[in-house]
Structure 1
Amino acid sequence: MSMQAPSPLATFRDLFIGTIVEDERDRLSPAVGYGLSLAEAAGAHVTILSSSWCLVGTDAWLQGTGDPGIGIVDRRLDALARAFAENAAGAAAQAGLVCTWETPCLPYPEVVHRLAAEARLHDLTVLDLDPRSEVLSRETVEAALMASGRPVLAVPRTHPAFAGRRILVAWDGGLQAVRAANEAMPLLRAAETVEIVSVGDADDLLTTVPGAEFARHLARHGVAVTVSDLPQAGSIADTLRKHAVRVRADLIAMGAYRHSRTRELVFGGVTRSLLMDAPVPLFLAH
């Protein structure tokens, strides 16, 4: 009797799910549902950091106001973050997952730094990508990428559960794209189809690692891969967005911040644009 081969996703042995509560209206963390369903598919250990952004201690003038309302808000946010973690831990237990969790209440920017430090200790970090808290969620993703050396899955609210049948690899031949694709290898091997997508005039793309040559590398790992060169329609980010919707992609794997974050802030960039409006979850590596 032959034994069934383990899923390629089993390479992910520990997943970190991070969420930050900054508003009492927060009632949903897509990262939690997505991360738990991915961990269940992988059979991975789960660590949940459900943080709240406290106001007391953030600024000296707030500490001196003596306004009891600030402390009340902090306690409510802390309770909400704890409820998130307890519910997630309960769902993990029902799925048979080993789960540890913590609910720190920290001022800004310590709340972001704490999350980024924890990301170093895991194979993959799953984070919220929420347009309602655009600055904080984008900064959290950036900090985890730049400070941990580990990949990040940024999850928009439209995708509360993991799916990975069809994956796009955004390709420009550069270092970050190569790293993202290799970090995402367990997901690519488990997918039904993977499409390497290059956007724009071929003369504008880096030629050190052409997509067709990299496709052979993926195929040797058992990835069902195709290669597409797309004409640029609008910005590169717009082209990727439209293509992801058209082919019903479940995920985009891409290198993050090929240029410096400062340059992307001033001139715009693919990473920043997609973080602001992601049609599907983004698997990011830098």
Structure 2
Amino acid sequence: MGVQGIKSILIGVSPELERPSAAAAYGLSLARSASAHASISALSPEMTLTHAFVSSTAAGLVAAENRRLLEQARAAVEKIRQDAMAQGVSCSSEAIQKHYALLASSFTKRVRTHDLVIVDAEPDSLSLRRGLLEEALFNGGRPMLVIPPNVETFRVQNILVAWDGSAKATRAVNDALPFLRAADHVEVLSVIGEKDMSRSVPGADLAPHLARHGVNCTVKDLSTPNGDAAEIVRSQAAMNRADLIVMGAYVHSRLRQLVLGGVTQAMLRDCSIPLMLSY
């Protein structure tokens, strides 16, 4: 079954990746399934010299490197555009090179005019790519699909929903409805023991709502004796041969919104299945 309700997809790629972008291949596959338009943004942070007194030689080297990186970004985005044309996918593309803060802001604004954004996984929480990912997730206002390496084909035969009954989990489920309706089976998983869920909506109450949307789902509660909810989610997803994990994203700090919650951080650090996050 094709995906209904997704019409505009933003795919963010980092040209300096040592491997081909799984997000690009996956995003074009999804766009083809949904008959959606794919917008490709190749993101290239501009190198700068922070010292006030630098030689003209050093400035020239930095300028040359920025030109090289921009050409690399343009080549990457052109390759993806050609792939889209070959697959019959409506596509627009751009290569963006700006100082990091301006690049993050520009990409985040682009996110807001699409149904969802697709990016490559970045395990390193301190990398620039992870910073761009987090900025778009927490300030873009749209759901994000994080694609691990070598997952290049969109499919949603089986989906796992990590459900804790919170507002963020609710938003994630609502954002994921086009995928949930297209799936053969959806499991709503609640991990008991990782947090106080006494005031949360249980998965059993979510199931009738999903059924009314035509979603074939089951509900499961699992306990975590060691408090590692992320490992429970990963293990259950692997057992179900899930094609997608859906969950809400969390932060710990209101002063700095890019401090990820423990489970969110753990899933971004290690997840071999496409991960859909909503905030």
Q: TM-score, normalised by structure 2?
A: 0.90
**Aligned-pair distance for 1:160?**
2.2
Q: Return the match for 1:140 from 132, 136, 139.
A: 132
Greater mean deviation of Cα atoms: 25-34 or 163-172: 25-34
| Deviations 1:140-168, CA, capped at 9 Å, x for gaps | 22211221211111111131221211110
State the partner residue of 2:190.
Answer: 198
Percent identity at matched positions? Answer: 40
Q: Please say if residues 39 and 46 of structure 1, whose CA atoms lie closer than 8 Å, have aligned partners that are also in contact.
A: yes
TM-score by length of 1: 0.88
Distance 1:256 1:206 in 2: 20
2:13 is aligned, of 19, 23, 27, to 19
Q: Which amino acid aligns with 2:51?
A: W
Superposition deviation, residue 277 in structure 1: 1.1
Q: Does 1:222 align with 2:214?
A: yes
- Rounded Cα–Cα distance in structure 1 between residues aligned with 2:205 and 2:216: 14
Q: 1:88 to 1:134 in 2, by over 3 A?
A: farther
Match of 1:3 in 2: none
Partner of 2:21: 29
> Which residue identity is paired with 1:277?
D
Query: Matched residues in 1 for 2:53 and 2:148: separation?
Result: 34
CA distance in 2 between partners of 1:260 and 1:206 (Å): 23
- Alpha-carbon spacing, 1:90–1:212, altered in 2? closer, same or farther (3 Å): same
Aligned counterpart for 1:60 among listed residues 25, 29, 50: 50
Runs of 4 or more off by more than 6 Å in structure 1? none
Q: Which runs of 5+ in 1 are unaligned?
A: 1-5
1:168 counterpart = 2:172: no
What is the CA-CA distance between 1:20 and the residue it aligns to?
A: 2.5
Which runs of 5 or more residues in structure 2 are unaligned? none
The answer as to 2:70 corresponding to 1:78 is: yes
Higher mean alpha-carbon deviation, 188-197 vs 89-98, is at 89-98
Question: Does residue 1:251 correspond to 2:244, yes or no?
Answer: yes
CA contact (8 A) 2:193 2:225 kept: no
Q: What is the CA deviation profile of residues 43-80 of structure 1, one whole-angstrom value per residue up to 9, with x for unaligned ones?
A: 0011111121221xx34328834323322322222122
Please say if 1:39 is aligned against 2:35: no
Mean Cα deviation higher: 195-204 or 156-165: 195-204
RMSD: 2.3
Q: Secondary structure at the match of 1:104?
A: strand
Match of 1:282 among 269, 275, 278: 275
Once the two structures are TM-superposed, the CA of residue 207 in structure 1 deviates from its matched residue by 3.6
Q: Which moved more, 1:211-220 or 1:201-210?
A: 201-210
Is 1:152–2:134 an aligned residue pair?
A: no
How many Å separate the matches in 2 of 1:105 and 1:75?
Answer: 9
The range that moved more, 126-135 or 272-281, is 126-135
Structure showing the higher helix proportion among its residues: 1
Deviation at 1:177, TM superposition (A): 0.3
Shift of 1:201: 3.6
CA contact (8 A) 2:147 2:273 kept: yes
How far off is 1:272 after superposition? 1.1
* Secondary structure of residue in 2 paired with 1:100: strand
The separation in 2 between residues aligned to 1:218 and 1:279, in whole angstroms, is 26
- Partner letter of residue 45 of structure 2? W
